[in-house]
Amino acid sequence: MNFDPAIAATQALQQAEQQGELGDLESDILEAEEIFSTDQGQNAKHAYEALQNFGEHLPQAKWFQEFLIYITWQQVTEGPLARYFQHGLDASNRFLEQFGKDIEGTPTHQYILAIRESFQGGLGIDTQEVVPEYEEDAFLGGD
């Protein structure tokens, strides 16, 4: 990856705040993010899980969903468990399916594709064999 997921997470969360995506959950989200960012061990893990739960209540919050993908990478680096890699891959796929057309050609699109590839690699998935429709070049005409 040619970007820092921690910095990208901070920027995405700031955008989520500015866009009003967090609604009534904003103070709880910011409190959990503070714990996740400054603590370690069980406290950080519980904060991570709380943030993911908030994400289930805000599926249309593009910036917040992007933030959750980046912090999943941070969680992977703390404890490289297959479930975190799988969660990150699933979240990346959902994000691309839901918001991919809106972000094509942007740094966000490149970041999500790169981090998705890293999640795949962590699961032992050969990224050369996986070509989803939103990454595939379409060729028209004959052979």
* Averaged pLDDT, 110-114: 97
The verdict on residue 62 lying in a domain is: yes
Q: Whole-angstrom Cα distance, residue 86 to residue 141?
A: 37
The verdict on residue 138 lying in a domain is: no
Of the pLDDT bands very low, low, confident and very high (cuts 50, 70, 90), residue 134 is very low
The per-residue pLDDT for range 11-32, each reduced to its tens digit, is: 999 999 999 999 999 999 999 9
The verdict on residue 75 lying in a domain is: yes
> Is the predicted pLDDT of residue 120 greater than 90, yes or no?
yes
Residue 106: half-sphere exposure toward Cβ, Cα within 13 Å: 10
The verdict on residue 108 lying in a domain is: yes
Note down the domain range covering 46.
5-122
The per-residue pLDDT for range 59-102, each reduced to its tens digit, is: 999 999 999 999 999 999 988 899 999 999 999 999 999 999 99
The verdict on residue 131 lying in a domain is: no
The verdict on residue 128 lying in a domain is: no
| 114 and 2 Cβ atoms separated by less than 8 Å | yes
What pLDDT does residue 128 have? Answer: 63
> Is the predicted pLDDT of residue 141 greater than 80, yes or no?
no
What pLDDT does residue 127 have? Answer: 65
State how many domains the chain has.
Answer: 1
Q: Whole-angstrom Cα distance, residue 93 to residue 36?
A: 24
Of the pLDDT bands very low, low, confident and very high (cuts 50, 70, 90), residue 126 is confident
The per-residue pLDDT for range 38-61, each reduced to its tens digit, is: 998 999 999 999 999 999 999 999
Q: What is the largest CA-CA distance in the chain?
A: 58
